[in-house]
Structure 1
């Protein structure tokens, strides 16, 4: 392309505006310095989405021109993330005033009136009385907000709940607490504010509890029911085009005493659920009623999350009833999943597989507290549509027992559509000498060692059959449910003493994540295998400092022959 053609090409304002949506902030600032025309086109993009954090506040204090730029571009701001919200920082978006409110402003600027997303991660509770005016003002001047995330401290501010109820375009509402012990002491006010929003499709209460204790008056229960009924009738009155809540996460209650919210919500006309966290039902809840209500009122529910419930058997029964009521779940996830308490399994995964094995596509159990190996094997050997299986832990000494080799060898995996696999492997300890051979006394004294070795080979064969796999993350069980040590896995992913060759079928593998030491015994033969059989490989991560990997000649060879490949530490993911 000639210089004149290039000049004409980039002189098109619409094209520059389109390109700016794909440019990172650092590169955007460089583009602004190219010329005056580019500066006019690219500079407004800097103010569309930004964080008001300590770095930004320091810049305001040290660079005088920053305040003028902020004031100039207030009307262009679409999304703001407050790391800490107090009255002075909120005031910045109202009139672009100086940080010290007692300083006079020579130019009040233009109101920030075009916000679509506002995230208030944390309030300065020591200045809570002073926050009321700027927060209510900011919400009042931004009726087009579609997404709002804020702490439940918000409801302690005078006028704030009423201001929230006026956001007629709000679609996504997150209310959260950093303190899981914080309770909502006025559920009626809470629901009146949230359910009055006619466009709301996502409502989440994260890490919060409601105050439904035995002292709560029955009249208040009737008030809650009346609020939900009024909101339901208001939605119905909007006609067939009415918007309903499709994503729901209700506040919890550890004992579930007198909690009317789950069934009242599920029976109402407010919901058309597609994504939901299983609510907290009272321990003596009618299981048949839960199942029937879910089946009748949640026919489109496809994505289910299970809360961390400390393995209470009564709550597990309600969760299983909820799963039975769903039809055709596509995904199931849970942070800190616990499917066993003492010696009594909760059977949640078994219920999931029994009811939804023909439709389940995603199972995610990050940082699971306890999960049975046989249940994980049941998912892999029954769910044909599975595309993502991610049961892997980021915590060093977790109780997650992992997927036992003996269980893996019992039945074939049928999940041939799997694209992403993250597993922790577990086996009975196989004692080997430094050369990788089984110790002679182990061969004689314990013949089960040979069976364990056969099961290990079978496990890697199962992985190797997943021809569509693109992401593979492997860890080893380090919790209480294993006798194996880290050194027992050292040879697994080698060609001479292990089973790396069984995974030659992974032609589409793009990312390999080794979370345990599978690399100490790897050498030139292993990296040549990767080069020959994994042509799409782009990323490998290791559980160690990456400088040590780059120093090894065989990894240098692989990087040279696969220039698109990057090596990194697991912590970087």
Structure 2
């Protein structure tokens, strides 16, 4: 992300620079490789090759790949090299923008720059200006909202206050045919909130004439009626992800006064509320909820994933009961539950309401684990490591879940003796691909010996081997020597467990990644054979 201030600086240099450093004309870029018989031409060929290499970097496809490794300052420097590079790298420089207050001395350049280069912006993040800037320069957010050339944005994030709602409604309207991702946050400081504040009335979202390509919509700190929510879903026919954070969904018949405070006059009254036709959004498959349970599952019957975030309080039992009944009544395709930073007491009821649980990620307690194990025949992924002080019954998952492909645990009190007994019972998950298992008192030396027997290499080492210098290679060699020394003094019991566990894991032909507490290792099947 890049703010406007560095952009103004670099483009001011372009404006003031008298001549380009190098002009690659078509005649210079032409290479005659067929006529190289004379010594003079042969001597000139390396120069032509060098120029051709520079010309290759002027191709947009190649430049975009090169720019992936560049900082914004590097891209701006490339745009200053010549006109050919400027035409290629300038769009890349403006591709990802964060709107901020410009320096007052350069603020006059911003409207011209936006009018010239606004069409290149694909990712745009707009945050409201601090109050102490307002007396020094006009807010850049207003300039962005009003710029007609910004009409190709794909990823738009807006955090602003009440007086900007009409303005960012306009920018959404201009980009409605290209938007794929939209995040709208009403920013209000807690000291300024009224005691009975319950969200800011949402602007007339359907008034943007729909967002036919929008796939992800994040709404935070807004208030809306159920009718307004239905209109939003209708306006986004291909929406796949809907995220609610601090959203207040109020009764339509009690919202007349709220709408009048937001300047809207389109809210139906009385009997008109009852005339809303039944509606279901069939494309939406992912519902994300922060802090609250939202009774909207009847509108999204095809939802497959529900994500819970920042539930740090207990939910009212009646509210939880109604939500679980909605899952059973309206969401037969629900298969995945993600619960991060979660208050676990309500999870068992939610998991028990799902017909077929395929994926679970997040926090868990014993009751939650038992509810998950009730879906042993359908479970394919279980990640129990998030914010979990202890993972309960980890070996039970491996023994009873035949379709399990990914299994990750947090800290557990599972002992080597318990693992040995589990190996004797056998694991049902023959299609296991990734395994992170915490085993109490499993030493790094013993883990290293098991990984060595499996031909597994630490992933961090394989990634950086070719990017570090000789000093790093020497350090790695010393660590390897220390590990070999530690492995040589393993006890007979440890040696026996090493052979038993390694031979057992070899039988899992699809197993690719392992982590027993010393980092992820990738298994090299060729090395093992």
Residue of structure 1 in register with 2:307 after alignment: 277
- In 2, are the aligned partners of 1:303 and 1:332 still within 8 Å (CA)? yes
Secondary structure of the 2:302 match is strand
Secondary structure of the 1:319 match is helix
Residue of structure 2 in register with 1:304 after alignment: 337
In structure 2, how many angstroms separate the alpha carbons of the residues matched to 1:229 and 1:386? 48
Q: Deviation digits for residues 392-447 of structure 1, max 9, x if unmatched?
A: 4xxxxxxx656555543441355565554445554xxxxxxxxxxxxxxxxxxxxx
Q: Deviation digits for residues 192-238 of structure 1, max 9, x if unmatched?
A: 4532323242343344264779xx89xx9x999x9899575486xxx
Q: Deviation digits for residues 291-334 of structure 1, max 9, x if unmatched?
A: 7x64675444343213655343xx344213223x135x1x2112
Among 311, 318, 324, the alignment partner of 2:349 is 318
Residue of structure 1 in register with 2:119 after alignment: 75
Residue of structure 1 in register with 2:143 after alignment: 92
Residue of structure 1 in register with 2:392 after alignment: 373
Among 340, 343, 353, the alignment partner of 2:373 is 353
In structure 2, how many angstroms separate the alpha carbons of the residues matched to 1:210 and 1:64? 41
- In 2, are the aligned partners of 1:149 and 1:173 still within 8 Å (CA)? yes
In structure 2, how many angstroms separate the alpha carbons of the residues matched to 1:129 and 1:422? 47
Give the gaps of 5 or more residues in structure 1: 97-109, 178-183, 236-242, 340-344, 393-399, 427-455, 461-491, 513-535, 541-545, 561-568
Q: Cα distance, 1:62 vs. partner?
A: 5.6
Residue of structure 2 in register with 1:146 after alignment: 180
Among 159, 170, 186, the alignment partner of 1:137 is 170
Whether 2:240 is the aligned partner of 1:202: answer yes
Residues paired across the two proteins, number: 395
Q: Cα distance, 1:360 vs. partner?
A: 0.9
Residue of structure 1 in register with 2:218 after alignment: 174
Secondary structure of the 2:303 match is strand
Secondary structure of the 2:462 match is coil
- In 1, are the aligned partners of 2:120 and 2:152 still within 8 Å (CA)? yes
Secondary structure of the 1:138 match is helix
- In 2, are the aligned partners of 1:172 and 1:200 still within 8 Å (CA)? no
Residue of structure 2 in register with 1:538 after alignment: 463
Secondary structure of the 2:444 match is coil
Secondary structure of the 2:86 match is helix
Secondary structure of the 1:151 match is strand
Of the two, which has the highest radius of gyration? 2
Q: 1:359 to 1:285 in 2, by over 3 A?
A: same
- In 1, are the aligned partners of 2:202 and 2:224 still within 8 Å (CA)? no
In structure 1, how many angstroms separate the alpha carbons of the residues matched to 2:157 and 2:47? 44
In structure 2, how many angstroms separate the alpha carbons of the residues matched to 1:72 and 1:559? 57
In structure 1, how many angstroms separate the alpha carbons of the residues matched to 2:384 and 2:275? 35
In structure 2, how many angstroms separate the alpha carbons of the residues matched to 1:357 and 1:33? 61
Q: 1:406 to 1:33 in 2, by over 3 A?
A: farther
Q: Cα distance, 1:151 vs. partner?
A: 1.5
In structure 2, how many angstroms separate the alpha carbons of the residues matched to 1:419 and 1:3? 52
Secondary structure of the 1:244 match is coil
- In 1, are the aligned partners of 2:206 and 2:231 still within 8 Å (CA)? yes
Q: Cα distance, 1:49 vs. partner?
A: 1.9
TM-score, L = length of structure 1: 0.55
In structure 1, how many angstroms separate the alpha carbons of the residues matched to 2:269 and 2:436? 47
Q: Cα distance, 1:111 vs. partner?
A: 3.2
Give the gaps of 5 or more residues in structure 2: 1-44, 131-137, 189-198, 259-267, 482-517, 520-529
- In 2, are the aligned partners of 1:132 and 1:157 still within 8 Å (CA)? no
Secondary structure of the 2:237 match is coil
Q: Cα distance, 1:507 vs. partner?
A: 2.4
Residue of structure 1 in register with 2:85 after alignment: 38
Q: 1:288 to 1:198 in 2, by over 3 A?
A: closer
Whether 2:67 is the aligned partner of 1:23: answer yes
Q: Cα distance, 1:7 vs. partner?
A: 4.3
Q: 1:172 to 1:232 in 2, by over 3 A?
A: farther
- In 2, are the aligned partners of 1:135 and 1:160 still within 8 Å (CA)? no
Aligned positions of 1:44-123 closer than 5 A = 44-52=91-99, 57=101, 68-84=112-128, 88-95=139-146, 110-120=148-158, 122-123=159-160
Whether 2:324 is the aligned partner of 1:246: answer no
Q: 1:63 to 1:557 in 2, by over 3 A?
A: farther
In structure 1, how many angstroms separate the alpha carbons of the residues matched to 2:171 and 2:95? 17
Q: Deviation digits for residues 49-83 of structure 1, max 9, x if unmatched?
A: 22235xxx456856876664333111221211235
RMSD: 4.8
Q: Cα distance, 1:6 vs. partner?
A: 6.2
Residue of structure 2 in register with 1:509 after alignment: 457
Q: Cα distance, 1:250 vs. partner?
A: 4.2
Q: 1:59 to 1:170 in 2, by over 3 A?
A: same
Q: Cα distance, 1:148 vs. partner?
A: 0.5
Q: Cα distance, 1:174 vs. partner?
A: 0.8
In structure 1, how many angstroms separate the alpha carbons of the residues matched to 2:155 and 2:475? 49
Higher RCO by CA contacts (8 Å cutoff, separation 6 or greater): 2
